[in-house]
Structure 1
Amino acid sequence: MSIFIRSGVCLAVMSALSMAAQAAESTDVGAINVQGETLGGGMMVQEESAKARSTITKEAMQKQADMAGNALDRLKYTPGLNVNSNDASGLSGVDYTMRGMNSDQIGLSIDGIPINDSGNYAVYPNLVGDAENIEEVFVTQGSSEADGPHIGSSGGNIGLVTKRPAKDFGGFVKQTLGSNNLSKTFARLETGEYNGFSNWLSYSHTEAKKWRGEGRLYSNKFEMNSLFEAENGNSSNLIMKYNRQENANYNTLSKAQFEQDGRYANDYPATPQYNSRGQLSRYYKLNRNPFENFTLSFTQKLQLQDNLSLTLQPYYYWGNGGSFTGQSASTLGPTSDQAGQYDLSNLTSNTYYRPSWTQTWRPGITTKLKWDINEQHSLDLGYWYERARQLQTQPYVAIKSDGNPADLWGDPNGAGQVKDANGNTVQGRNQYTITPAQKIWLQDSWFVTPDWTLVGGLAWQHVDRRGENKGSLENAPEHRHATYHKFLPNFSASYRLDQQNQVFYNLTRNMRTPQNYVLYNVGDSINTKPELSWNHELGWRFQQDDMLLSATLFYLRYTDRQISTTNPDGDYEMMNVGKVENRGLEVEWSGKLPYNFNYYTSYTYTDSEQKDNVTREDISLPTSGKQLPNSPKNLLNLTLGYDDGRYYSSVSGKYVGAFYGDMTNDEKVGGRTVFDLAAGVYLPVDKKIVKSAALRFGILNLLDKEYLTSARTTVFNADARNGLSAATPYYNVGVERTYSVSLEATF
């Protein structure tokens, strides 16, 4: 669909909603909509919890320079976090670290639904929905909430909160255009409230070209939110989100490639490349990532008594898709079967598209009971249960003459998949994992005095990993099973010295269950212990009408850190690399200045120290005392903004310190400073028709800095050591200078 057609559709929807709004409202004509300003343009809000926590409001998300970015992109200035995306579309890969932990060690949830992959805890931007439908994003940098539905969080949690339906009939439309043929069309219809019911329904279409290399990105999203609120305090909330995408992958670079040829080097070739037998070997059309996912949650809140409430939240997640990121097409022939699972006598040697395909079915339920016993004590009791099922395959798919896979979507019954002489689909991987998980918790909030609050709680978490290796080219059928369970206590204390000053201390134990790889990798992987961490935080907050300031000292000590690697034979195995200590300081400061200016700044110092040497192929590597890979010690963000109710603008600078790509700290990537610019105008509107309208403009990487963002693949040692060969880390690449502009209106 062309930009002009989508723009026409967008304008038609705007017109229809305008006529409806005109019939429903009669207010002043010609008024300029004045946005309610919070400190730092909404980048910081007043927090009360007895733990480190940061919140990004909808106002801040709207004012950032990334017009089409997803909700995780909006966290790039948040203390403790180093967030990087492959491009400005909001559709490609996103990675982040927090206090020295990778994204697969940090819990992520939307409206209480766990979003991390149930097998390896990876995070994908397609799962978080449209940022236009997100009301706020909050981060607890060091510890998950007691009721957090996570089995893969060593510490820390990110939560997204979906926008509630409006009380009045209306809608919101937005058209974004930008560099690299970026186009996003978004429309949301609000039904308004009728007899306690209110709803919204939204649709978006996004597409763009890759900024480096050939290929395009496409996404369609459908989302809805239905809310019923009864006069007795009971409520029901149904939220559904569906996404379907067809993306082309970005390739990674080594440091040497980047330094020699720059950021545009070594992407997948724009023209077909063939092997010595004349078979297609490398081509950008093979490096694809189709995926679709659906989430549903139904939250029922029941006010049983004045001091007793019950919340029931069943949910369901479904995902289907895969990615091929190999450097060349996979070869398959009569002698390719190493495990004796197939009769390949019907094949001749050829090259194929072989995606890593995953289908996930993930139902669960969270139940919470809150009892306000008296004025001093409030008791929370809860139970969470989930039964995730995951089928992971690697089919061989024929390549058509134009270089496209014969079956991009990897349908298990697809005609393009290779079958052996007996009619069996040939698989490079064929694993089925069931992961029942449950948690029960009890937490007491004791309001000792109006200034003193103590919170103590205890959770018990139990996780099963049940794996069925169905047999593949490399593995014979096998069943494996592992169980993990721990008690996880938490304690926090908060004291308010006066109206402006608060101090707090927080202690939390977290558990990260080993990834599902332990059921299928070789060696002693099945006996891998869970990561256990103790998180300590000591913090202070200063709050007044025109300024907010917070500072937190943190110390995170975790044991049995898990690493997925390969042995000398090239087989994957899990390794326990021992103890790690993360310690540091986070500061967040925001406020107002004269003449409608505002400011926001955050600083993080993180010392992530490995405490043990690692043995690799019977060779001890000197990792003790070294910084964790991918963990910069210094992060500094500065934003100066202006907003007079008609015009707004901001300049943001982000400094990321140097980091390493390997555990022995042989290869170091230097720090960088990147600037973004955002500006906008709230347009004069006739409020009989349009409630508000805005024109927004943004530039990412204003000075067009060339840099590597983060290590995509970390290694043990980048230099040869004691007879152990060197390995090469590969890195994601920082996006070039990118422009975007958007026009939006609310009816």
Structure 2
Amino acid sequence: MKFTKSIILAGTALTGLFLASAALAQSTATEEVEVVVVKGAKKGLGPVNKETGTKTKTAIGQDYISAQSAGQTIAETLNLAPGYNFTNNDPYGSSGGNVRLRGLDGSRVSLTMDGVQLNDAGNYAIYTNQQLDPELIQSATVITGATDVDSMTASASGGTVSYTTRKTSDTFGVEATISTGSFNYNRQFLMLNTGSVGPFGTQAWFAASNQNYDTFTIEKSPTDNGKLKKQQYNFNIYQPLANGSYFGVRGNYNGNRNRFIFGQSLANFAANGKYYNSAGINNVNPSNTGNIRGYSKWVISDHFFFTVDPTYQYVMANGGGTGGISEVDGKMSVSGRTFYYSELAGVDIDGDGKATNTSVSIYNPNTTVTNRYSLTSTGVYTFTRGDVIRFGASFDRGRTRQSGESTLVVDDNGNYNKNGIYIDPFGGRNDESIRIIGKDGSTHERRYRFSLANVDTFFLEYRGHFLEDKLFVSLGVKQQKMERDLNQYCYSPDDGSGSYAPFCTTRTPVIDNGNGTVVFDPTKPYLTTKNPVAGQPDIKHTAFIKPYHTNVDFSKTLPSLGLTYKITDANQAYVNYSEALSAPRTDNYYGVIVDGTGTVKPANPLPETNKTIELGYRFTSSTFTATADVWAQKYENRIVSSYDPDSDSYFDRNVGSVDLKGFEASAAWAPTSSLSLFGGLTYTDTEILSDYASGATATVNTKGKSLPEVPDWMGTLGMTYKLSDFTFNLSGKYVGKRFATDLNDLETPDYTVLNGSVRWDLPGLAFLKPGTYAQLNVINLTDEYYYGSISSTVAASNKPSFNVGAPRTVMLSLHTAF
């Protein structure tokens, strides 16, 4: 699994010199500091807010979010922000997609909910299909170019996407949404707000939703119609205390039963149709995710308070698929590798009473289970003159076990059938009785490893105003430490590919090379690697690295500086500088090699670092607001990554130093109280500064090339018009050409997607509250055919894959409040 400073919030616009505080991670301390320093709120221009601060930022509120299709991922709703691009893998968002922010993929973008880090603890991916129900999101923000000073992320080298949960209310209420739409879409949402109850005025809300629909693609085995299912349960409990203190707890559970919408090569689309999908009935992508988020504020004096936010997160997910194994000799192909599992040779795997089947189909999942604990605490001291000092610490502990307990595929009666379906979407992880067992009693595993991912962050920030409040200064420093403890219980190919193709066997090697590697059969290479460079010979391997334990860690001090100068009441200039660090994915640390001393080490060990500088200007009047900025980033050890759903793995290529620079602009105009217009423009230029090695002798000639998957131009345009009880919304997104390879020898066409909605505020009835409406949404109004997500490769000959954007989709929703 991949801004400009316009605020698109159809509510109150927070202005004043110190709204720079909004450029934080939206933790409890963030919200409280905004209360301390934000002054003089003004209305925005229709859906577009007026904005100030030292960073380029876009934010949206619930009014704008609710105008989008019901159940839509917040990642798609933010797509109108300059500098940001999200490619949705289906019209409603349950199949995931890729985030791009100023040329950064999702693993380098910090995603937080109420300040809680949501990037995966191991590979830092953003799983956009697992985000909070949109009815429960109070506001969402995108900051381009700089990660928050208080962020605990191990990976974000620039850019933050954050959103906050809807607050509780002191009055009782019920809300419900029912939706239907194209591709058999059905969704129900219900929320109960208790109001203030009990002797202490406790407030709470509880919410649940259920969603299911079909994929829009043509699958090779559409037995179950590619049904996508999701259930979500949420709650928020808030307890006010004396003196402005409070504490509370929020909870989220999300259960997905999805299918891969595989990216395809251009040849596959040409041969099978423009909406072809090669997924079969066993290519499932199930996940159970949940978290409990505590939040609290403790007021010590008029000048000082501190916050404490503990969190627990749980993830169980896998990438399902099938494989074929021989009962005769245990031969099996995994991700292009040929392995021989001697513990399965001569075993009656399919249960037919004999061990002669040379190709038994099995369900072969990659299951990940993560238990993650984190704690964020911030102290805030406000001086008499209004200056603020913030200091704090955050600790993140991820415990991830990755396994792949294989099972048979069966028919409706539970008997083996080579064309059957999985018994359990998580394979044999939870039920030992259905696992495939070798003759020595071992479980057949696709992979087996355990990781500890630890992140410690300490920060200090000063915010002050000078020159008669015209100059605002934000000065921060963050000490960031990351540690990875890696335990590989299987054998790893010696070419650095052990992350996605380990050899989990109880078979005894026949040769020990004495350097940490072994050989099982010198006459049979387990792997033939196709060299990405034309004319170079393919590479054959026979050696494996023994199971191992190793540690890696990084630590760096990261400064940041932001300045905002108020030229006049209508004109403002800002500049900021920041540094960031991104560690390689934990998964890819398992892609190891051995050096001359026999020491196991990662093939791509170096962290990615970047330096960002940004200069911007804003103009604000009662009917018009505009922002423009220029920016530049310098990367060292830039890692380019592609996702392969067949192996449920990311493939990294370290392309060395990269320069990025660009321009962003946005504007909003409200000529009347009923009409508002907004638009944005983005230009991004990327340049790889050197060639990089591929294998022992080959070189990929990337010097002077552009990064793949990054559009040069993007544009957004939107309109909101209100006529009596009807509200009309129209928005468009233009995405320019993108290279699909490191060598820039293949690029995708540009495209434009238009979305629209019409809302009818229904006449009030005695038992209904304001907010009861019927809404029609149309996604991709013009039925544009385009390539969305790209899984890039080194060269066109390596056949990069593409996900096709969803065709025209219509949805009707009824929302009631009483």
Shorter-chain TM-score bucket reads: 0.7 to 0.9
Q: Verify: 1:602 aligned to 2:597, yes or no.
A: no
CA distance in 1, matches of 2:364, 2:131: 27
CA distances 1:76-116 after superposition (whole Å, capped 9, x unpaired): 11111111111123311121211111111111010111111
Q: 2:103 — aligned with what?
A: 100
Q: 1:247 — aligned with what?
A: 258
Q: 2:636 — aligned with what?
A: 559
Q: Verify: 1:660 aligned to 2:739, yes or no.
A: yes
Match of 1:539 among 613, 616, 620: 616
Cα deviation for residue 636 of structure 1 reads 0.6
Read off the aligned partner of 1:467 and give its amino acid letter: L
Q: Verify: 1:295 aligned to 2:291, yes or no.
A: yes
Q: 1:210 and 1:575, CA in 2 relative to 1: closer, same or farther beyond 3 A?
A: closer
Cα deviation for residue 330 of structure 1 reads 4.2
CA distance in 1, matches of 2:43, 2:323: 52
Match of 2:474 among 455, 459, 464: 455
Read off the aligned partner of 2:629 and give its amino acid letter: T
Decide whether the 8 Å contact of 2:731 with 2:756 is kept in 1. yes
Decide whether the 8 Å contact of 1:521 with 1:573 is kept in 2. no
CA distance in 2, matches of 1:293, 1:671: 35
Q: 1:573 and 1:247, CA in 2 relative to 1: closer, same or farther beyond 3 A?
A: closer
Decide whether the 8 Å contact of 1:521 with 1:572 is kept in 2. no
Q: 1:20 — aligned with what?
A: none
Q: Verify: 1:739 aligned to 2:810, yes or no.
A: yes
Q: Verify: 1:405 aligned to 2:422, yes or no.
A: yes
CA distance in 2, matches of 1:676, 1:222: 28
CA distance in 1, matches of 2:395, 2:551: 19
Secondary structure of the residue aligned to 1:228 is strand
Cα deviation for residue 401 of structure 1 reads 2.2
CA distances 1:141-173 after superposition (whole Å, capped 9, x unpaired): 111110112111010010011100122100110
Decide whether the 8 Å contact of 2:44 with 2:50 is kept in 1. no
Read off the aligned partner of 1:685 and give its amino acid letter: G
Match of 1:651 among 719, 730, 749: 730
Q: 2:362 — aligned with what?
A: 352
CA distance in 2, matches of 1:596, 1:426: 65
CA distances 1:1-28 after superposition (whole Å, capped 9, x unpaired): xxxxxxxxxxxxxxxxxxxxxxxxxxxx
Match of 1:384 among 387, 394, 410: 394
Decide whether the 8 Å contact of 1:480 with 1:519 is kept in 2. no
Read off the aligned partner of 1:359 and give its amino acid letter: V
Read off the aligned partner of 1:331 and give its amino acid letter: I
Q: 2:578 — aligned with what?
A: 508
Cα deviation for residue 692 of structure 1 reads 2.9
Q: 1:160 — aligned with what?
A: 163
Decide whether the 8 Å contact of 1:263 with 1:707 is kept in 2. no
Secondary structure of the residue aligned to 2:269 is helix
Q: Verify: 1:307 aligned to 2:303, yes or no.
A: yes
Match of 2:214 among 209, 218, 226: 209
Q: 1:363 — aligned with what?
A: 373
Decide whether the 8 Å contact of 1:183 with 1:207 is kept in 2. yes
CA distance in 1, matches of 2:213, 2:340: 44
Match of 1:440 among 446, 455, 458: 458
Read off the aligned partner of 1:204 and give its amino acid letter: S
Alignment of 1:711-722 (within 5 A): 711=790, 713-718=791-796
Decide whether the 8 Å contact of 2:451 with 2:484 is kept in 1. yes
CA distance in 2, matches of 1:619, 1:413: 45
Cα deviation for residue 591 of structure 1 reads 2.5
Decide whether the 8 Å contact of 1:241 with 1:295 is kept in 2. yes
Q: Verify: 1:123 aligned to 2:141, yes or no.
A: no
Cα deviation for residue 289 of structure 1 reads 1.2
Match of 1:710 among 786, 789, 814: 789
CA distance in 1, matches of 2:699, 2:715: 36
Cα deviation for residue 344 of structure 1 reads 2.1
Match of 2:323 among 321, 326, 329: 329
CA distances 1:634-692 after superposition (whole Å, capped 9, x unpaired): 00111122024511112222111000110110111110112112111111112544333
CA distances 1:228-287 after superposition (whole Å, capped 9, x unpaired): 22241101121100011211221212123335554222433xxxxxxxxxxxxxxx2111
RMSD: 2.2
Q: Verify: 1:267 aligned to 2:283, yes or no.
A: no
Match of 2:435 among 392, 417, 420: 417
Read off the aligned partner of 1:46 and give its amino acid letter: K
Decide whether the 8 Å contact of 1:660 with 1:666 is kept in 2. yes
Secondary structure of the residue aligned to 1:152 is coil
Decide whether the 8 Å contact of 1:503 with 1:539 is kept in 2. yes
Cα deviation for residue 531 of structure 1 reads 0.7
Structure 1: state its 5+ residue gaps. Answer: 1-36, 269-283, 719-725
CA distance in 2, matches of 1:261, 1:400: 28
Cα deviation for residue 336 of structure 1 reads 3.9
Q: 1:54 — aligned with what?
A: 58
Q: 1:474 — aligned with what?
A: 503
TM-score w.r.t. length of structure 2: 0.80
Q: Verify: 1:497 aligned to 2:515, yes or no.
A: no
Secondary structure of the residue aligned to 2:690 is coil
CA distance in 2, matches of 1:564, 1:125: 18
Decide whether the 8 Å contact of 1:196 with 1:230 is kept in 2. no
Q: 1:237 and 1:591, CA in 2 relative to 1: closer, same or farther beyond 3 A?
A: farther
Q: Verify: 1:90 aligned to 2:108, yes or no.
A: no
Read off the aligned partner of 1:454 and give its amino acid letter: V
Structure 2: state its 5+ residue gaps. Answer: 1-41, 333-337, 350-354, 413-419, 492-501, 505-545, 594-600
CA distance in 1, matches of 2:178, 2:650: 46
Q: 1:27 — aligned with what?
A: none
Q: 1:614 — aligned with what?
A: 692
Identical residues among aligned pairs (%): 24
Decide whether the 8 Å contact of 2:406 with 2:428 is kept in 1. no
Decide whether the 8 Å contact of 1:39 with 1:598 is kept in 2. no
Report which structure shows greater RCO (CA 8 Å, sep ≥6): 1
CA distance in 1, matches of 2:52, 2:44: 16
Read off the aligned partner of 2:773 and give its amino acid letter: A
Q: 1:673 — aligned with what?
A: 752
Q: Tell which deviates more after alignment, 471-480 or 109-118.
A: 471-480
Q: 1:17 — aligned with what?
A: none
Q: 1:577 — aligned with what?
A: 655
CA distance in 2, matches of 1:109, 1:742: 28
Match of 1:628 among 676, 683, 707: 707
Cα deviation for residue 381 of structure 1 reads 0.6
Secondary structure of the residue aligned to 1:67 is coil
Q: 1:320 — aligned with what?
A: 316
Match of 1:145 among 144, 148, 154: 148
Secondary structure of the residue aligned to 1:299 is strand
Decide whether the 8 Å contact of 1:676 with 1:699 is kept in 2. yes
TM-score w.r.t. length of structure 1: 0.88
Secondary structure of the residue aligned to 1:517 is helix
Secondary structure of the residue aligned to 1:258 is helix
CA distance in 2, matches of 1:170, 1:411: 44
Read off the aligned partner of 1:494 and give its amino acid letter: T
CA distance in 2, matches of 1:261, 1:424: 41
CA distances 1:537-596 after superposition (whole Å, capped 9, x unpaired): 111111223222111111111111124589xxx999754320111111111111212371
Q: Verify: 1:637 aligned to 2:637, yes or no.
A: no
Alignment of 1:31-46 (within 5 A): 39=44, 41-42=46-47, 44-46=48-50
Match of 1:592 among 670, 675, 691: 670
Q: Verify: 1:691 aligned to 2:685, yes or no.
A: no
CA distance in 2, matches of 1:546, 1:342: 75
Decide whether the 8 Å contact of 1:182 with 1:207 is kept in 2. yes
CA distances 1:683-722 after superposition (whole Å, capped 9, x unpaired): 11125443331111111111111111131x211111xxxx
CA distance in 2, matches of 1:332, 1:296: 45
